[in-house]
Structure 1
Amino acid sequence: MSILSKLTGTWDCTYWTETNTNDPSDVIHTYSKDVKGVLMYTSDGYMSAMMQHPDVPSYTLGFLQGTDGEHIEAASKTHGYNGSFTVQEPAEAGKSLVIEHHVLMGLPTNLAGKTQRRFAEITEEAGQLYLTIRADFAINRDRVDRNIEVGWKKREPISPIKAS
């Protein structure tokens, strides 16, 4: 099975961690240990990703009618973007796959027009595919440099066509 055929499909987020670059025992779960997230790669080269903290409440007034406070809380606990993607297979064994996400739009909005470079590994356990993605940069959170790692588990495909 090719790298692209393994990658194509829908993935559920299993974790998002940020690890202190100077102390590997200092790990935080950015969107909680119960993070909600979906990552999709299509066969025609597009992708979409969204992660969210599980305690984001529904808007009290209904769909698209949140208060200013509800909008702020939802935005501060949600991260996502979409666009196209390219894959560079490793030149030698033991090296990571490189995936570049070419962002069309996102939250935070300053992701638009940028390329998000990721180092990735696809593994298989008992027939189940797993994807581990690491950012190619460290972020600084509360004056601590941290490496981001996000884990994904591939969903089984479904048929969107309902029999009549």
Structure 2
Amino acid sequence: MEVLTKDALVGAWALLSFTETNSTTGVESFPMGPDPQGILLYTADGYMSAQLCTTSRDGFRSNDMYLGTGAEYMASGKTYLAYSGPYHFDERTGVLEHEMAVSFFPNWAGQRQVRSASLYEDLLYLATVTPMSFNGSMKTAQLVWRRISSGR
């Protein structure tokens, strides 16, 4: 692992894996499937945005995003996660905080969520530091991101 600095965080990252581990049983699950999609952005002036989803999401029958059925909205909501806001990084401890100014999950709006963060070559490893309620049980989450090169 390399020393992670705030400058090293700045840029765009593509999601490689998203794993949750049940805190009681140790069972791992993949909430966005085995091949999730996502983009994580960190700006030099201290803002971040995270967008994560499954690779296969069904479209709405209507091309109007406000005219989906209840079932379409439910399926869409269970396969997508997004939030944005300021971030705070302590280079000494490797602790990263995402401050959620806006969130697809309304309960997260206004929260600060703490992540452990480490870097190895072009891979960014983020993990929750305490268990959170996911799909009915307390779990920790581990995510691996690869830096998106500026040539893309």
Q: Please give the range of the TM-score, normalised by the shorter of the 2 chains.
A: 0.7 to 0.9
What letter matches 1:56 in structure 2? R
2:129 to 136, 149, 152: 136
Cα distance in 2 for residues equivalent to 1:20 and 1:110: 21
Cα distance in 2 for residues equivalent to 1:2 and 1:86 = 13
Identify the residue that residue 117 of structure 1 maps to in structure 2: 114
Unaligned regions of 5+ residues in structure 1, if any?
92-96, 160-164
What amino acid does structure 1 have at the position aligned with 2:123? Y
SS at match of 2:100: strand
Task: List, as ranges, runs of 4+ consecutive aligned residues in structure 1 with deviation greater than 6 Å.
Answer: none
Write out per-residue CA displacement over residues 74-125 of structure 1, whole angstroms, 9 at most, x where no aligned residue.
Answer: 012111100011110125xxxxx1111111110211111110111110111x
Would you say how many aligned residue pairs link Structure 1 and Structure 2? 149
- Percent of paired sites with the same residue: 24
The TM-score normalised by the length of structure 2 is: 0.87
Q: 1:130 to 1:70 in 2, by over 3 A?
A: same
Q: Rg: which structure is higher?
A: 1
Give secondary structure in 2 for the equivalent of 1:137: coil
Give the corresponding residue for 2:141: 148
CA distance in 1, matches of 2:70, 2:123: 38
> Partners of 2:9 and 2:111 in 1: how far apart?
21
CA–CA distance in structure 2, aligned partners of residues 59 and 5 of structure 1: 40
The CA RMSD measured in Å over matched residues stands at 2.1
The residue aligned with 1:28 is 29
Using the alignment, how far apart are the partners of 2:64 and 2:119 within structure 1? 37
CA deviations on 1:35-67 (whole Å, 9 max, x unpaired) are: 111100011111000111222112221141422
CA distance, structure 2, for counterparts of residue 106 and residue 71 of structure 1:
16
Aligned to 1:94: none
Gap change, CA 1:45 and 1:67, over 3 Å in 2: same
Aligned to 1:162: none
